[in-house]
Structure 1
Amino acid sequence: MISRPFIVLYASVLVATMGISMVSPLLPVYAEELGATGIWIGLTFASFAVTQTIFGPFAGRWSDRYGRKPFIIAGLLLYFVAALGYLTATSFVQVVLFRMLSGVGTSFIFSVARAYIGDLVPPGHEGRWFGVFATGDIIGFGIGPLVAGLLRKFLGFDAVFISMALLMASSALIVTLLLPRISPEVRLRAAARRESELSFRLAMSDRLVLAITLTMLVTSFSFGSTFSFLAVKLEGLGTGAVLIGLTFSMESFASALMQPFTGRLADRANRRVLVVA
Structure 2
Amino acid sequence: MEKKVFTVLFIAVLASTIGVSIIEPLMAIYSESLGASGLYIGIIFSAFTLSRGLFTPIAGKLSDHHGRRNFISGGLLVYTLSSFAYIIAIDVNSLIVVRLVQGMASAFVAPLAMAYIGDIAPKKQEGRYMGTFTISFFLGFGIGPIIGGTLNHVFSMNAAFIAMGALGLISLALVFLTLPELGVHKEKKPSAFLKIIKYKAMQEILLIRVVTAFGVAGFMVFFPLYATSIGLNTAEIGTIITINLLVTALPQRYFGKLADKHNKLALIILGNLVMATTILLIPLTWDFYSLLGLNIAMGLGGAIGLPANTALAAQFGRLHGMGSVMGLLQAAFAVGMTLGPLIAGIILDLAGLTVVFFYTAAIVAFGTLAFYMFVKRNVKNHLSGS
Say which SS state the counterpart of residue 35 (structure 1) adopts: coil
**Two-structure CA RMSD over aligned residues (Å):** 1.7
Residue in structure 1 matching 2:261, options 264, 268, 271: 268
Residues 99/57 of structure 1: CA separation in 2 closer, same or farther (3 Å cut): same
Contact 2:25 2:234 in 1 (8 A): no
Task: Indicate the larger mover: 261-270 or 161-170.
Answer: 261-270
Aligned to 1:199: 193
The answer to whether the aligner puts 1:33 opposite 2:33 as a matched pair is yes
Deviation at 1:217, TM superposition (A): 1.4
Distance in 1 (alpha carbons) for counterparts of 2:213 and 2:145: 19
2:107 is aligned with what amino acid? S
Count of residue pairs brought into register by the alignment: 270
Q: Does 1:211 align with 2:204?
A: yes
State the alpha-carbon separation in 2 of the partners of residues 178 and 211 from structure 1.
Answer: 37
Q: Is this contact kept in 1: 2:11–2:136, CA < 8 A?
A: yes
SS at match of 1:197: coil
Report whether the alignment pairs 1:240 with 2:233. Answer: yes
Larger displacement relative to structure 2 (117-126 or 24-33) = 117-126
SS in structure 2 opposite 1:170? helix
* Offset of residue 52 of structure 1: 1.3
Deviation at 1:76, TM superposition (A): 1.4
2:376 alignment partner in structure 1: none
> What do residues 76-99 of structure 1 show as CA deviations (whole Å, max 9, x unaligned)?
122212211111111121111111
Gapped runs of 5+ residues in structure 2?
Answer: 271-386
Distance in 2 of aligned mates of 1:188 and 1:243: 49
Greater relative contact order (Cα < 8 A, sep 6+) = 1
Whole-angstrom CA distance in 2 between matches of 1:269 and 1:113:
26
Partner of 1:55: 55
Q: Which moved more, 1:212-221 or 1:172-181?
A: 212-221
Which position in structure 2 is the counterpart of 1:165?
Answer: 165
Aligned to 1:127: 127
Q: Which runs of 5+ in 1 are unaligned?
A: none
Give the TM-score normalised by the residue count of structure 2: 0.67
Tell me the amino acid that sits aligned with residue 131 of structure 2: G
Question: Per the alignment, in what secondary structure is the counterpart of residue 146 of structure 1?
Answer: helix
Percent identity of equivalent pairs? 33
The answer as to 2:98 corresponding to 1:94 is no
- TM-score w.r.t. the length of structure 1 is 0.92
Instruction: Tell me the alpha carbon deviations over residues 200-251 of structure 1, each in whole angstroms, 9 at most, x when there is no partner.
Output: 3x33333332233222212212221222222223234332111111121111
- Structure 1 residues 32 and 243: CA distance shift in structure 2, 3 A: same
Q: Which amino acid aligns with 1:15?
A: A
Retained in 1: the 8 A contact 2:2–2:120? no
Q: Distance in 2 between matches of 1:209 and 1:92?
A: 37
